[in-house]
Chain A
């Protein structure tokens, strides 16, 4: 009919689509880039008007402040140990539960797996006070183990639910074939099923780790000193400690965010897949 006008309209539409997307990406990026920009400025330039994106005098002073003159390195180790503990416990126990839910038909399978999903939605604001008392009684306040245990509230249902969907996707016949070949059920699980589900399990584990790494509410209620405080708490304490040292705060924010961003970029594919499977089905 009118091919020229049609293709012109189409091109305009594509152009508008990209412009809008660039605008949305800009909205996402500008706070993140501003963190980095501020973190490499000397204090004279941080408070300079007009603001500049790229500093005249680039400095790493803020980073050396954070790394050598604050408790951030200790908090880094606390965050790492808490995250690893919570992740490993969730993967072993939650992974087993995911397998159980996916493979065995028993009374209450459906309602129990739904219960797992619902328990994840229970607000931390409801749990934070009783968890505080629980840890007080167990003598686990201000301890890394206590915090990791509390983080299981977030990670355990998630890992169970996500691994369940990975195991369901693997045909039962694979295990049955291995059993016919003389494998024990446990050997079939470890030699046949887990290797197939490994990428998904790894992505789930990293997701769990990031949840623990980013978690703020429980960490702020359950920890009170450098013994167990994690990085998110360190960041708030930090801005109080240096009054309004925005340069150091932004340097710390960069250092906290970097590991999760790297993990995310590295495993983005599994992440996106697992998440849309896990959550959409839920």
Chain B
């Protein structure tokens, strides 16, 4: 039996057509939209060339939104990886109760994001929230977690870390468990201490999954929407508004579809450039270290 024939394409064609229809076509249409203008007063699309893009560079709320997106992404990814790595290393060391703890830790990742957002909003409630209650036991005054421009973004980052670090832990643990035991036995016999073993054996072994995870989490954080939308709505005073929210606001609240489309494409282009540069460097780095 030959598997080489072109028949294989028949199996794949339907999916390709659907993806073209719901992913590629919208992407192209988004480019078309970005050269047009509409508003809540004149919903018809008028061609305006690059006008929307030029406007972006003078739009303070776009620049602020971009800064927030960077802070949000770096804060989220750093702590997601850190906490996920710690959890994975801890889980890897134990035998008894591993399954139960692993199951518990996975729960935030599976719970609908919007339900998590609602519960955290309630936890952060300035007057009746559990978090402020716990803080009050230590003599703190009521803190406006989501209502303070300096705290709102950080407070939602905590939720994003809570939601995604389980996924990181699971991925790293899967990789750790694939390392043959003999590698570590040899290191112990050679008298390596904990840190030496971690930096010279464990870390190189999980480096590839760490770099994949960093890229994935960055892309997800860069494009996230739900948590901030549901918890602060971008407020107070747009202090936690990331680009994803601004796109939504411009498109669906202000009917400025062309403007929103250009924002979405700038966001997408930045993400693409970041991914390519990132992949280029991690790839080179790994090649060198071999």
Q: Contact: B111 with A260, CB < 8 Å? A: yes
Q: Is A27 positioned at the interface, with any CB of B under 8 Å from its CB?
A: yes
* 17 A-B residue pairings within 8 Å (CB atoms): A20-B86, A25-B105, A28-B166, A34-B122, A50-B133, A106-B4, A123-B219, A129-B30, A129-B257, A132-B251, A153-B23, A214-B114, A216-B225, A235-B114, A261-B110, A272-B106, A279-B216
Q: Contact: A134 with B114, CB < 8 Å? A: no
CB distance from A76 to the nearest CB of B (A): 13
Q: Is B94 positioned at the interface, with any CB of A under 8 Å from its CB?
A: yes
Which A-B residue pairs are the 8 nearest by beta carbons? A104-B8, A100-B11, A130-B26, A123-B223, A276-B174, A253-B115, A97-B15, A232-B114
Give which listed residue, A34, A129, A236, A265, contacts B264 with CB less than 8 A.
A129
Closest to A268 in B: B103
A24-B105, A104-B3, A105-B3 known; A232 vs B267 contact (CB < 8 Å): no
CB distance from A217 to the nearest CB of B (A): 5
Q: How long is the Cα–Cα vector from A141 to B101 in the complex, in angstroms? A: 43
Band of interface residues on B: 35 or more
CB distance from A214 to the nearest CB of B (A): 4
Q: Contact: B268 with A250, CB < 8 Å? A: no
Q: Contact: B101 with A261, CB < 8 Å? A: no
Q: Is A64 positioned at the interface, with any CB of B under 8 Å from its CB?
A: no
Give which listed residue, B18, B107, B119, B127, contacts A93 with CB less than 8 A.
B18
A51-B130, A121-B219, A221-B252 known; A131 vs B226 contact (CB < 8 Å): no
Q: Is B116 positioned at the interface, with any CB of A under 8 Å from its CB?
A: yes
Q: Contact: B170 with A276, CB < 8 Å? A: yes
Q: How long is the Cα–Cα vector from A24 to B240 in the complex, in angstroms? A: 27
Closest to A244 in B: B125
Q: Contact: B11 with A104, CB < 8 Å? A: yes
Interface string of A10-47 (1 = CB under 8 A from B): 00001001101100110111111011001000000011
Q: How long is the Cα–Cα vector from A249 to B110 in the complex, in angstroms? A: 19
> In the complex, what residues of B have CB within 8 A of residue A116's CB?
15, 19
Q: Is B87 positioned at the interface, with any CB of A under 8 Å from its CB?
A: yes
Q: Is A169 positioned at the interface, with any CB of B under 8 Å from its CB?
A: no
CB distance from A193 to the nearest CB of B (A): 13
The residues in B between 1 and 26 inclusive whose CB is less than 8 angstroms from any CB of A are 1, 3-12, 14-16, 18-19, 22-26
Closest to A247 in B: B122
Q: How long is the Cα–Cα vector from A62 to B130 in the complex, in angstroms? A: 19
**Max chain A CB contacts within 10 Å: which of B19, B93, B127, B247?**
B19
Q: Contact: A276 with B118, CB < 8 Å? A: no
Q: Is A103 positioned at the interface, with any CB of B under 8 Å from its CB?
A: yes
CB distance from A20 to the nearest CB of B (A): 6
Q: Is A227 positioned at the interface, with any CB of B under 8 Å from its CB?
A: no
**Max chain B CB contacts within 10 Å: which of A21, A29, A261?**
A21
Q: How long is the Cα–Cα vector from A170 to B8 in the complex, in angstroms? A: 17
Stretch among A66-74, A172-180, A196-204 lining the B interface: A172-180
Q: Contact: B7 with A104, CB < 8 Å? A: yes
Closest to A175 in B: B1
A125-B225, A249-B118 known; A21 vs B23 contact (CB < 8 Å): no
Q: Contact: B30 with A127, CB < 8 Å? A: yes
Q: Is A157 positioned at the interface, with any CB of B under 8 Å from its CB?
A: yes
Q: Is B209 positioned at the interface, with any CB of A under 8 Å from its CB?
A: yes
CB distance from B80 to the nearest CB of A (A): 13
> In the complex, what residues of B have CB within 8 A of residue A96's CB?
11-12, 14-15
Q: Is A228 positioned at the interface, with any CB of B under 8 Å from its CB?
A: no
> In the complex, what residues of A have CB within 8 A of residue B248's CB?
125, 128, 221
Q: Contact: B261 with A256, CB < 8 Å? A: no
Interface string of A208-233 (1 = CB under 8 A from B): 00100110110001000000000110
Q: How long is the Cα–Cα vector from A126 to B103 in the complex, in angstroms? A: 34
> In the complex, what residues of B have CB within 8 A of residue A250's CB?
118-119, 122
